[in-house]
Structures are given as structure tokens and as C-alpha cells.
Structure 1
């Protein structure tokens, strides 16, 4: 890629704002570009030269993130302590693992993926009614939450369903996916409770510790749609980031593309039939005082598509404000106490590829 002169770069920076606004005002997202038949990635999506060069220096490694079988997690079962140890090791080293036999049916997983695809592929007039950048809207459709803060836009559209502040009136959920996504939300909320118990034990705490802190009370579900990309080598589906949550549960379809940073390399997180991907968020890294790791991850763009995924973020108590902080276990706290509101306010005013942990180091 040729080095561009400073004069041209300045022109591009000035024009970028206009291009971002023009894209945003269509209210059709990336899928709207694909529907128009674009054969080149628009400039607002092209990654900076330094990022593209950096990726060329990464060696492809063939490693597998842990897949943990949850059958036998009942208290007193012979396998429970084995499962707790597997979760402890995965949370400490990878910050990522997949779970199977989690009691959410495979049929519901498939139906959830299909229903989110149907939302994104319905007629434009219906879908545009949900388009908004107002974070207080409990249900909203948008493309790139950090569109105006990031260095480059991502090849991705999103339906967000937020229960961060209060319970969601079911009638606000789009009809095309309402019944299925509400059932899926119930399933993931129950699974989150189970995992918080296991994570508490993995921290050598009472099984109820993280649930008693209400780590799962705030919930946000982001339903991503990654259209096929004509030049996937120039952009990303989702930029490198860590999650604004205690834990995140991710359902992904068969196309893959998710990668996690491990030992300074990008490792694929393959699609495993019937599995839910679990990753540690920034808030749990803080509360665990760095015992658990909130790992960088990203999603590649792809010629194939669309790719669909649903990320369930469990973010604790937002309102009224509640203080969270490192577990008091005799070790020096690596972070100061925080409220979820404080964390999220910082998250929504920065590019997603900038870590939120640095704001709260003690």
C-alpha cells in the first residue's frame, strides 16, 4: 500500500466526517451498501496502514480454546470440582472458553440465529424505524456504536436489546424475532447464573458471591449481522476490543471469524455445534484483581456471509449506582472501585479498541 502524503491525509480526515454522516443518514447500515452492489470497500471502512502492516507480522498459530462440558455441575457431583478447575484455568490464561451441555436446546440456538438474520434481512422501511444512536432506546438498530470515535468503521450492523436499566416491555422487540429472542434471553440469563456460581468457586469464594453482587442484573444483547465483504483483507467485522461486562455469552453461527488474542497471537474461536462462547469482561478482571483475564478479541470480515452472532453482556447494577471493586483478599488492589455507569460512560465515548481497564487502575 502506497504511503499517502500529509496533504492528502488531511483532506481525507476532513472528508471522513462527511462520509460518516452520509453513511449514517441512510439508516441502512452495511447491508445497505451490499444491497447497492458495492464492489470496493468504502474508505471509511479501510483500516489504517499501520494496522494492516501489523497483521502481516502475526504468525498463524493452531491452538484451541478450551471447550468445557457442563454436564455434572450439580453440587456434590464428582465432576463439579473438575469443571471449576477447568473454568479457573481457562479464565486465568485465555479469558475465553466454550461450554457445551448447558441446557439451552440446540433448536433454540438455531432458531435464534435465524430470527436475527430475518430481522436484518426484512424490508428497509420496517428496519429503519428502529435505527437510532440514542443509548436510552431499549431496542435500537445501528451500524458501529463508535462510528464517530473510531479510526475505521467495521463491516457490521447491530440490533441492540438493552435491559441495563429496567425490564423490557416485550412489545418493543421487533415482531420478526420477538418470541425467539425473548426465550433465548431467558436461557442465557439462567446460564449466566450457573457460570457466576462456578466462577465464584474458581476464585475460592462462596458460590453465591458474584450473584449476591448482582453481576448479572444489567443485561444487554447485541445481535450482529456481518454482510459478505468484497475486500475483507482491508477491513474488520469487529475491531480488537475487550468487553464492557462481567461476563459475555456469545452465540455464533457456523461461519466463524471470531479470534482471541493469546500469547501475542490471534487464535481462531471455531464454531462448535451446540456451544456457547464465554469470555471474561473488564469488570470481572477488576473484581478478580487480575486473577481472571479480559482478553482482546475481534471478528474478521469475510467474502462469505452473512455471519450472525448474538452477544449477551451481563453488566451488573446500573441504577441506582452501586460500587464494585477488587475482592478484599489481602492482596493489594490493582484497581480502584467503580460504578457500572462510570465504566459505560467512558466506554461509549472512546473507540472500542481502546481498553477500559486503564481508567480504573489504582
Structure 2
């Protein structure tokens, strides 16, 4: 079955100045009426190069409890490598449509990897103004190269190089989050699957939209994964729900945006908060972002870490296999 891609819809929409009705959000979701305009949310910015480890633990712990989101600078990933990652991703989405369809999700395929458009059930059949590409980048035993672009030719090398740099940052963040809960450095990572933790890359592609005040790139959600490490391009779009309002998040060149996801909220027994966020779109410019979701293996069970639970603070969440959590979340079923 031929799937209509948002990139193609956008080309027609930009010619006639309107968008199809399935992209027009209900009034209580439209960015024009629900964003607190003129205010950029200054989410915590944390310098990962500082040598005072206790201070770093305190900053990350506080950001994860109060915000569920923070940005890290001086993280050790070279800015040239981030630019290369962005360039090869952009080049893929600028290929002729039939070339992108080569790595599209096959009919009847139940996984998320591959090039695609719609991801999950949305209320009243609404759609996000976005195409995407998903593929696992780590560990090697989980990688399926059939979902990696062959074009541009440097795509694979660039993504593998970026992943190697990212692993060090991820391990450092998980260690700091662990210590912030009063645990040993490796306990949070072990509670997520240890060395089998899956790194799932997604490229979000939000083409220009003639009616950005009516549409959303991604509807409001929390990430299912443990943490998300995200590289944005310079086009504003990430919004966070804080104190009853939607705010734009300030863009900082070469920073990584870190989202606390559902699995960290669960294993911390609610001490860390999964961030509720959404994406807006732009009238003139293409917005893109490169999140990497750190996911437990599908069969791995995640629940509140026993050391964090006691008679005064009983478990607030069920322990369940990650794949079952995902199934319930994507199908809007109770957890």
C-alpha cells in the first residue's frame, strides 16, 4: 500500500497555503493558542567537563527531579562530528522519494525500524507533520543494516563514529543519575539491561508547514525509553509542559538535550520525572532532530529498584517486560 509521506504533502500544501484536515489539531492542542509566547524556557544547562563530581551529581539529580529535561555542554562529542551526523541525515531526506522508500518499514512489519510516517494511535485520527527514520545503532548484535541508508555513502561510517562517542556520554549520565539516587554508579544501567541496553536512533524530519499555528510535528508525550540524548538543528521546535504551560526550549549550539524517559521514572520509583514534551513546526524552514533512545532489551523486566522502595515509599509502578510496556503505551492501554 502506497503511504503518503508528509514531505510530499508539504510540497503541495506550501503551494496552496493550506494543510489537510487530519493535520489540524483540536483547539486545545494548537500551538497558537497553547504556547506561552515570547518566553524561552531556560532548562538547566550542565557542563559535563566540570571536575567536581559531587556537584555534577547534585545538578543532574535536581534537573531530573524538577524538570525531567536538561542540556549538557562540553560533553566531549566534537562539534564537527555532530555536523557530519546532521549533514548525512539531511542528505538522506533530500534523496528522491523512491530511494528513501527502499528502507521503508515493510508491510505488516511490527517493529519500528525503517523509514516511515505514522507511528502510533492518535486521538481522533490526527497526524503529526513529520516523517522519520529509525534504526538501532548499538549493540552490534541488535543492528539490522537493512534499515540503514546506503546513500549518502558516508552515512554508516558517520553514524558508527557518532555512536562510539555517544556511548561514553550515555554511561557517564547513567552513572550520575545512579549516584543521584544514592546508588552505586552502575546500578541504574544494570536495572535497564546493562551492556544489552539498546541505542535506537531516530531522525525526525519536519518539513516547512504553511499553517504552523494549527499543526504539531509530534503530539504531547513522554518518551518510553530510559533516557533520550537528542541533537536538534537550529530551527526552534521543542516545547516542554511546565507549571501548566507549553514553553519553547532555548536552543544552544552543540549542546545535547537529555530527556528523562518513562523507564528512569519507573526504576527511580518516581523520584526522577519523565518529561512531557511536543514538537512544533516552522513556516519557512525544515526542522530536524536526532534523538537516540536508550531502551532496555524487549524481554528485560524494569521496575522500581528494590533499594529505593520501603514501607514508607512502596512501589508506585509495576515491574514488567519492556516490550509489554511499549505495547501498552503505543496502544493507549493502562500500564
Verify the 8 A CA contact 2:35 2:247 in the aligned structure 1.
Answer: no
Distance 2:293 2:55 in 1: 26
* TM-score between the two structures when normalised by the length of structure 2: 0.88
Mapping 1:285-296, distance limit 5 Å: 285-296=265-276
The counterpart of 2:142, out of the listed 136, 143, 167, is 167
CA RMSD of superposed structures (Å): 2.3
The counterpart of 1:343, out of the listed 320, 325, 329, is 325
Verify the 8 A CA contact 2:201 2:293 in the aligned structure 1.
Answer: yes
Change (3 A) 1:95 1:157: same
The counterpart of 1:120, out of the listed 93, 99, 106, is 93
1:153 deviation in Å? Answer: 0.4
Change (3 A) 1:346 1:120: same
Task: Confirm or deny that 1:252 pairs with 2:226.
Answer: no
Matched with 1:96 is 69
Matched with 1:56 is 33
With 115-124 and 164-173 compared, the bigger mean Cα shift is at: 164-173
Change (3 A) 1:63 1:51: closer
Task: Confirm or deny that 1:325 pairs with 2:300.
Answer: no
Verify the 8 A CA contact 1:138 1:163 in the aligned structure 2.
Answer: no
Verify the 8 A CA contact 2:40 2:250 in the aligned structure 1.
Answer: no
Distance 2:243 2:175 in 1: 28
* TM-score between the two structures when normalised by the length of structure 1: 0.82
Change (3 A) 1:227 1:172: closer
Provide Cα deviations, 1:330-358, integer angstroms capped at 9, x if missing partner: 221111111101111123323xxxxx8xx
Task: Confirm or deny that 1:209 pairs with 2:187.
Answer: yes
Structure of larger gyration radius: 1
Matched with 1:84 is 57
Distance 1:111 1:217 in 2: 25
Aligned length: 321
The answer for unaligned runs of 5 or more in structure 2 is none
Matched with 1:11 is none
Distance 1:190 1:112 in 2: 17
Matched with 1:10 is none
Verify the 8 A CA contact 1:164 1:315 in the aligned structure 2.
Answer: no
